[in-house]
Structure 1
Amino acid sequence: MQEHVSDPVAGTLVDNRYAVISRLARGGMSTVYLAVDQRLDREVALKVLHPHLAADENFLGRLGREAKAAARLSHPHVVGVLDQGNDGTTAYLVMEYIKGHTLRDVIRDRGALPPRLALALIDPVVEGLGAAHAAGFIHRDVKPENVLIADDGRIKIGDFGLARAVTSSTSTGALIGTVAYISPELVLGKPADARSDVYSVGIMLYEMLTGRQPFEGEVPIQVAYQHVNGTVGPPSDQVPGLAGEVDELVQWCTANDPENRPVDGNALLQELRHIRTHLTDAELDLLPPAAVGPASQHHTEVLARASNPTTLLPPSRPAAPPYPPGHLTPGQHTVDEGQAHTARVAYHQRPGLALPDDDDSDGEWSPPPPRLGKRAQRRADKEDEKLRAVAAATPVRTLREGNPRRRGVLWVLVLILAALLATGAGWFFGMGPGAAAAVPAVANKTVAQAQQVLSGVGFRSTTSDVFDDEVPSGLVVGSEPAAGTEIRKFQPVSLLVSKGPQLFPLPNLTGGTLDQAKSSLNAAQMALGTVAEKFDEDAEAGIVLSQDPAAGTPARHGTPVALAVSKGPQPIAVPSVIGKSEDDAVAAIEAAGLTARVAPDEVFVRNVPEGDVASQSPANGTLTRGGTVTLTISKGPRMVNVPSYIGKQASEARKALEALGFQVRVNNILGGFFGTVRDQSPVDREVPEGSVVTITVV
């Protein structure tokens, strides 16, 4: 739903491309606007970062890398990242615009959802996360506000990479996220992985099924405390009759220890779909109690990144521990009658536990417990043992009697002990290993130098190897937590040591076409270098003959690869050998690299002597090496008999002789007045075709 509020960005043109129409939403890190990409004429979601983030150069560099990586993640249930850039002081992300509403709107409007609808809505979210996890992406801020539901029913999860960029690049030691859904390890400042997203999905599913969040508090630190030290109860405590498999799924996702959760979104997706197909219609269509209203909404909060993890551990005597109703707090052994009744109610409501003998039960009948999965049944058995132990240790009356002087001495001892503990805690957190200090900058130092710097401040360090394109191998790239982050001195600092650039073997490009080589280089994220063409007798034109560097050579992404490409066989000009003797003609053709072939039939040619080449095919042009030239040999001129035309008219004789292929020469006597042939030479014998015949005319 769009918010029609006055905003200085609305109505502006960002980066001379994105025309801002209106503001859609505002969060802890950015403001989202509806904009039109004027270059491609389409609606987009323009996320403009808050000024304090846009002013951080380290953050902008990290955001650019995260945006490029997220843009390569293409999945129907993940909001696509289209562009990223800066326009003066405005840093922005451009994402796919999903017209519709969010999962938060659904929970706010409807409250608790039937299991069928809740599981159907969470399925595409888990599928999108599973695809991201398989590609190496961690979301870190999974919450209903980031689950977008289009008007046509498509469901997508957005904001990949933004939370990671913030937590990796800011030096404030702050963790940006919605505290209601944050995993315990993120609260404690530990590295996040796919299981952290799974935890957030489990909290969301609990909220969708019950209409409320499992942990609530007046300030964010109270909720964070419960994430670290509490346990998410089964949703069936709020929605009686809910299938045991659903309870088991939620508690599997929200286990406090990441080792006890699904390894990633794909593992969770398999279990989720298995449960959906095995629940009955009655279990899937269970209507939540009418009393369960819409959940309270926690907006994005800034929470200290475990700068003092010990503050999230239970104190020796908590004043108001955040445990759910019906649970006994640690160290609570004396209960009044109302508390004992609460414990019994909690005991009776535990799914899968038998009802103990109790005089206060009044013989009331309890419905049979819902069936459980194996994992939930094991948890229920353990809870059974704990509750029986608590019941056995609970006295039936309060300790009100005793000597007042003895009680006074006990109180003095308690106060002395509390003072000693306070003094010890003050030293521990003020000057001792629990004191807070900023992580020093160690980038571009050797490991020994970095360890010495950290040791001088009081930190202990570990090392882990990473690839880096800029920092030479063996030097420190940075640290985790990052430089400038305030943490307790007993927390380890991990040094990220460069292994140099990550190298990948070059693909084999020889033997294929130039277009195929370009495609292979693009797929391997390598660059095309110089392309040299040369003749080759064995390869067709356009075939790659060689590459430099050679195939299999380790190289970093973007390395240019030079190619030699065939222009085909080199053309050879056909020499002209007409009129040459047969031997000379054959020698000349073979010297040019061609093959001479002599035609079996010789021909009469009046002007080519016998034995010489009368014709060739081809007579000119070019051939490739080894091409064939056919030679036709002359038999010399044909012999023709010269008939006698003496006494005949000169015109008649001339015409007849020329028809026989002779040349006629006329010798006139007395002007050739009568036009009669008186003599001819030669006459009545064979002569070569084309010979000259002389006639004398009177």
Structure 2
Amino acid sequence: MARKIGSRYTAHQILGRGSAGTVWLGEGPEGPVAVKLLREDLASDQDLVERFVQERSALLCLDHPRVVGVRDLVVDGNDLALVMDLVRGTDLRTRLEHERRLAPLAAAAIAADIADGLAAAHAAGIVHRDVKPENVLLDALAPEGPGGAPPALLTDFGVAKLIDSPSRTRATSIIGTPDYLAPEIVEGLPPRASVDIYALATVLYELLAGFTPFGGGHPGAVLRRHVTETVAPLPGIPDELWQLIHQCLAKAPASRLRAVEVAARLRELLPALEGLPPLDIDEQSEELYEDEPLADSHTPHDPHAPHGTNTHAVPAQRGGAVPLVHSGAGPDANRDTHTSMRVPGADELAGGAHGTARTPRAVGEARAGSARHRAAERRRRLKMGAAALLAAVVLAVGGWLATSDDETGSLPMPSAGYSPQ
């Protein structure tokens, strides 16, 4: 059912739902648009509405080929909406669900596009705060880039900042997606441009490995790993690419590169990545994400399907519009946008073993700490115990026989009352 959004826009069809609101395919004076209508409880928050209006000029001025442009911000009664460019294609999360991991050339090209968008935003004084595959759109109608990667555009600028208003969060809360949160955010420090670089490096690691370096399990455990653990190296990629990822995942924000530097260095590395296949390493442990739906490997990927569309569950919509939020069938505690979480205390952040971040390993090898690994360890200990017991029995019997032989020089004599006859 169509509905009016302000005086200039009409929303025709829901494209997706997210934690912050609903994305509609809309129509405006200049043609089709994507309209992100925020939740009613957000629209009723006067402080948020004022912040929304204050951010209007900055968001409207953010004009870059690698950024999904914000055309308008609408405040009309109970409606609070962002009107954005309509991008036809899919999002990076959908592509990962189909391909699991990308070839290094395509991964680096996409990351370079994201870095370009971040560089423009940071130059305008805007911090994204929620860089992740769900917020990266792939333009299916544009010419493909290196490695067959379509141009990538970063979306959802300003939404995290709008949601994270003083009236909605306390000083002991953080807003973000656990897998991609920089350590300083976990520790309660204000977000600066460097948090986007950390998240971008996490996305690049995920594109190459098929899993994030610190993800898996309870969100609280993920937050602690960001602060206490070191990232495990990725085998099979040039050392220069790994050094870039490692530097951008530095715990100290000042040690990370700037977005413009990341983009330049990635593009310098592209020729060296030509022809390299996707990494042959194990993906995330099934025990860590056992509740997550798995992509249907038999369903072909539709590059024209709307962003967030579950193409193996519903018919593909060719030529569809790209919504600006993830529209999965159910909430994902690890990747839900703008998850509000308590800031862990110093004792909690200090707890746990160090050096236990997810380590790439050979395909088929059980991951340390997983249920399969623990079962294998139990079997190994049982075998070792049985072997030790058998060895002890053999030694005991041999010792008894040797002692008896030494004392009598022959076999023991029969006991009283026993007749060999």
Identify the TM-score tier after normalising by the shorter chain: 0.5 to 0.7
- Looking at structure 2, the residues matched to 311 and 170 of structure 1 have their Cα atoms a distance apart, in angstroms, of 28
- Looking at structure 1, the residues matched to 5 and 273 of structure 2 have their Cα atoms a distance apart, in angstroms, of 53
Match of 2:162 in 1: 165
User: Which of 302, 309, 327 pairs up with 2:339?
Assistant: 302
Match of 2:44 in 1: 55
User: Which of 65, 75, 80 pairs up with 2:64?
Assistant: 75
Q: Note the C-alpha offset of 1:176.
A: 2.7
Cα deviation code 1:440-470 (max 9, x no counterpart)? xxxxxxxxxxxxxxxxxxxxxxxxxxxxxxx
Cα deviation code 1:84-131 (max 9, x no counterpart)? 122221211111111110011111110111101101111111111111
In the alignment, does 2:356 pair up with 1:323? yes
Aligned Cα root-mean-square deviation (Å): 2.6
Cα deviation code 1:250-286 (max 9, x no counterpart)? 1111111112111x21121122222224x2535xx23
The DSSP-based 3-state class of the residue aligned with 2:175 is strand
Q: Note the C-alpha offset of 1:248.
A: 1.0
The DSSP-based 3-state class of the residue aligned with 1:212 is coil
Match of 2:216 in 1: 217
Q: Is the 8 A contact 1:138 1:197 kept in 2?
A: yes
In the alignment, does 2:100 pair up with 1:107? no
Match of 1:606 in 2: none
Q: 1:280 to 1:192 in 2, by over 3 A?
A: closer
- Looking at structure 1, the residues matched to 358 and 112 of structure 2 have their Cα atoms a distance apart, in angstroms, of 31
Q: Note the C-alpha offset of 1:24.
A: 1.5
Match of 1:21 in 2: 12
Q: Note the C-alpha offset of 1:311.
A: 4.8
Q: 1:105 to 1:325 in 2, by over 3 A?
A: closer
The DSSP-based 3-state class of the residue aligned with 1:218 is coil
Q: Is the 8 A contact 1:118 1:208 kept in 2?
A: yes
Match of 1:473 in 2: none
Q: Is the 8 A contact 2:209 2:281 kept in 1?
A: no
Match of 1:35 in 2: 26
- Looking at structure 2, the residues matched to 97 and 250 of structure 1 have their Cα atoms a distance apart, in angstroms, of 31
- Looking at structure 1, the residues matched to 17 and 359 of structure 2 have their Cα atoms a distance apart, in angstroms, of 38
Match of 1:189 in 2: 188
Q: Note the C-alpha offset of 1:171.
A: 3.5
Matches within 5 A, 1:545-556: none
What amino acid does structure 2 have at the position aligned with 1:198?
A: I
Cα deviation code 1:303-328 (max 9, x no counterpart)? 3353x53254223xx4x77813679x
User: Which of 79, 85, 109 pairs up with 1:120?
Assistant: 109
Q: 1:68 to 1:312 in 2, by over 3 A?
A: farther
Q: 1:18 to 1:126 in 2, by over 3 A?
A: same
Q: Is the 8 A contact 1:67 1:161 kept in 2?
A: no
Q: Which runs of 5+ in 1 are unaligned?
A: 1-9, 328-337, 343-698
Match of 1:276 in 2: 270
The DSSP-based 3-state class of the residue aligned with 1:289 is coil
Q: Is the 8 A contact 1:36 1:43 kept in 2?
A: yes
In the alignment, does 2:206 pair up with 1:207? yes
In the alignment, does 2:277 pair up with 1:286? yes
In the alignment, does 2:141 pair up with 1:132? no
Q: Is the 8 A contact 1:78 1:158 kept in 2?
A: yes
Q: Note the C-alpha offset of 1:148.
A: 0.9
- Looking at structure 1, the residues matched to 265 and 215 of structure 2 have their Cα atoms a distance apart, in angstroms, of 28
Q: 1:321 to 1:54 in 2, by over 3 A?
A: farther
User: Which of 246, 249, 270 pairs up with 1:251?
Assistant: 246
- Looking at structure 2, the residues matched to 312 and 92 of structure 1 have their Cα atoms a distance apart, in angstroms, of 39
Match of 2:256 in 1: 261
In the alignment, does 2:210 pair up with 1:177? no
What amino acid does structure 2 have at the position aligned with 1:244?
A: D
- Looking at structure 2, the residues matched to 137 and 211 of structure 1 have their Cα atoms a distance apart, in angstroms, of 29
Runs of 4+ with deviation above 4 angstroms: 293-297
Q: Is the 8 A contact 2:230 2:355 kept in 1?
A: no
Q: Is the 8 A contact 2:40 2:79 kept in 1?
A: yes
- Looking at structure 2, the residues matched to 69 and 325 of structure 1 have their Cα atoms a distance apart, in angstroms, of 38
Q: 1:311 to 1:71 in 2, by over 3 A?
A: farther
Match of 1:85 in 2: 74
What amino acid does structure 2 have at the position aligned with 1:21?
A: H
Q: 1:270 to 1:137 in 2, by over 3 A?
A: same
- Looking at structure 1, the residues matched to 217 and 283 of structure 2 have their Cα atoms a distance apart, in angstroms, of 20
Q: 1:169 to 1:107 in 2, by over 3 A?
A: same
Q: Which runs of 5+ in 2 are unaligned?
A: 143-150, 293-331, 361-372, 378-421
Q: Note the C-alpha offset of 1:301.
A: 5.1
Cα deviation code 1:567-617 (max 9, x no counterpart)? xxxxxxxxxxxxxxxxxxxxxxxxxxxxxxxxxxxxxxxxxxxxxxxxxxx
* Percent of residue pairs bearing the same amino acid type: 33
What amino acid does structure 2 have at the position aligned with 1:118?
A: A
Q: Is the 8 A contact 2:163 2:338 kept in 1?
A: no
Look at both structures and tell me which one has the larger radius of gyration over its CA atoms: 1
Q: 1:196 to 1:118 in 2, by over 3 A?
A: same
Q: 1:321 to 1:217 in 2, by over 3 A?
A: farther
Matches within 5 A, 1:288-687: 288-289=279-280, 292=283, 298-300=335-337, 302-304=339-341, 306=343, 308-315=344-351, 318=352, 323-324=356-357
